[in-house]
Amino acid sequence: EIILAIETSCDETSAAVIENGRTILSNVVSSQIESHKRFGGVVPEIASRHHVEQITLIIEQAMTEANVTFSDLDAVAVTEGPGLVGALLIGVNAAKAIAYAHDIPLIGVHHIAGHIYANQLVQPLEFPLLALVVSGGHTELVYMQEDGSFEIIGETRDDAVGEAYDKVARTLGLPYPGGPHIDRLAHEGKEAIELPRAWLEPDSYDFSFSGLKSAVINTLHNVKQRGEEMIIEDVAASFQASVIEVLVGKTKRAARQYEPKQLLLAGGVAANKGLRKALTSQFAKSNIELVIPPLSLCTDNAAMIGAAAQSKLRKKQFASFDLNGNPGLDLELQ
Ligand code: ATP
Ligand code: MG
Ligand code: FE
C-alpha cells in the first residue's frame, strides 16, 4: 500500500511517499529556518506564506522521486494538529484537494503520533511499547498498549525540552534553533555549574524545565554582575546534564513499571547526541529494545506522518472532507 503524506504543522514544508508504513520511497523536506532566524523563532504568518509557496512543488517532487502517480496511491495523509493553525491549513487543504480530485481516502494524523511512528521506518514496532517524546512543543512519556493507542503517562508542566534548549541558547547569544548548538558546545565543556534537577513528586512521570531554564539565566546574570568570564561550553554541558539525567531517570523508572517490549525515542530533541548516548548506555543490558530514529527522521518530516497513517489505513479510519487544522488535537483520542 502506498501513502502520500504531507506535513506543514510548523516551519517545515514536507511531502513523502511511504510504502506499507515502513519503506520511504521519497521524503522531501523544505526548511524555513533561514526566514525565521532573524526573529529568533517561528513567525506564524511567514510560515503560512512559505507553505503556500512551497507545497505544490514539494508534493510534485515527492511524487517524482518516488516514481509514482496519483493513481498508485491508496491514501493521502496529512498532519491535522497540533501546530500553527494557519500552517496546518495549507497541508490539510492540499491533501483534501488531492483526495477529492483522485478519489482516494483522506487520513488525518496527529503530529506527535508521527514523531513516534518515525521509529517504524527503522524497526517494526512491537507492543506494548513506551515512547519518550522530546520536541519543540512536547515532552511526554507515552505508553502504547497496541498499534494506534496512546496513553500519556507523564508530560511537561511548563516548557517543553526543545523550548528550554532554544530559550537557554538565546540567552547565550546562539542562533535559532539553539538545540543543536547547545548539544555541540556541551561536548566541549565540563559540568562545572551546579543546576537543579526537577524530579517533582517521587511517583510522577511529569516533567518541568522552566526552573532549570531560570536557574541558567540567573547564573549567567550573576556571573556577568561579578564581572567574571563565563565559559559558554560549561553552561551548555551543565544544562544538558540536568536535562538528560531527568529524562533518562524518569524513562528508566517508567520502563521498570510498564515493562514494554520496546522503548522509542521521538521528536526533534531525539537528535541530541548526549541523550542518544545516555539512553543507549542505559538500555544496553536491558531486555527492552531501544529504537532511535536517524537524525533526518527526528525533526519534522512527512515520512513519519506516512508511517503513522498506515495503521489508520489498515483500520479504515478515514477523515471526511470536513477535516480541519486542529491546533489542540488530543493524542489520546486518536
Ligand atoms: P512539536 O513536534 O512538539 O510540535 P516542533 O515540531 O516545533 O514541535 P521538532 O521539529 O520536533 O519541534 O523539534 C525541534 C526542536 O528540536 C527545537 O526546539 C530544536 O532546538 C530541538 N533540537 C533539534 N536538534 C537538537 C539537538 N541536537 N539537541 C537538542 N535539541 C535539538
Ligand atoms: Mg521545525
Ligand atoms: Fe515536531
Q: From the annotation, which residues make up the binding site for Fe cation?
A: 111, 115, 300
Q: From the annotation, which residues make up the binding site for substrate?
A: 133-137, 166, 179, 183, 272
Q: Could you tell me what percent of the chain has a pLDDT over 90? A: 93
pTM of this prediction? 0.97
Question: What is the 135 CA–ligand 1 centroid distance (Å)?
Answer: 4
Q: Is 81 in the pocket of ligand 1 (CB under 6 A)?
A: no
Q: Is the ipTM of this complex over 0.95?
A: yes
Q: Is 267 in the pocket of ligand 1 (CB under 6 A)?
A: yes
Question: What is the 41 CA–ligand 1 centroid distance (Å)?
Answer: 12
Q: Using one digit for the tens of pLDDT, what is the confidence trace for 74-88? A: 999 999 999 999 999
Question: What is the 173 CA–ligand 2 centroid distance (Å)?
Answer: 20
Residue among 14, 37, 51, 135 whose CB has most ligand 1 atoms within 8 A, to mutate: 135
Q: Is 177 in the pocket of ligand 1 (CB under 6 A)?
A: yes
State how far Cα 126 lies from the chain centre: 20
- Residue 145 above 90 pLDDT? yes
Per-residue pLDDT band at 329 (split at 50, 70, 90): very high
- Residue 308 above 90 pLDDT? yes
Q: Is 111 in the pocket of ligand 1 (CB under 6 A)?
A: yes
Per-residue pLDDT band at 320 (split at 50, 70, 90): very high
Question: What is the 296 CA–ligand 1 centroid distance (Å)?
Answer: 12
Q: How many other CB atoms are there within 10 angstroms of residue 122's CB atom? A: 15
Question: Considering only CA atoms, which residue is closest to atom 5 of ligand 1?
Answer: 136
Report the distance separating Cα 126 and Cα 207, nearest Å. 26
H/E element, 141: strand 139-144
Give the cell for residue 130: 513506551
Per-residue pLDDT band at 230 (split at 50, 70, 90): confident
- Residue 34 above 90 pLDDT? no
Q: Using one digit for the tens of pLDDT, what is the confidence trace for 98-121? A: 999 999 999 999 999 999 999 999
48's CB contacts (< 8 A; 6+ apart) are: 84, 86, 87, 89, 90
Residue among 140, 165, 247, 292 whose CB has most ligand 1 atoms within 8 A, to mutate: 165
Q: Report the nearest atom of ligand 1 relative to the CA of 267.
A: 11
Pairing of strands 106-110, 151-155: unpaired
Q: Using one digit for the tens of pLDDT, what is the confidence trace for 238-295? A: 999 999 999 999 999 999 999 999 999 999 999 999 999 999 999 999 999 999 999 9
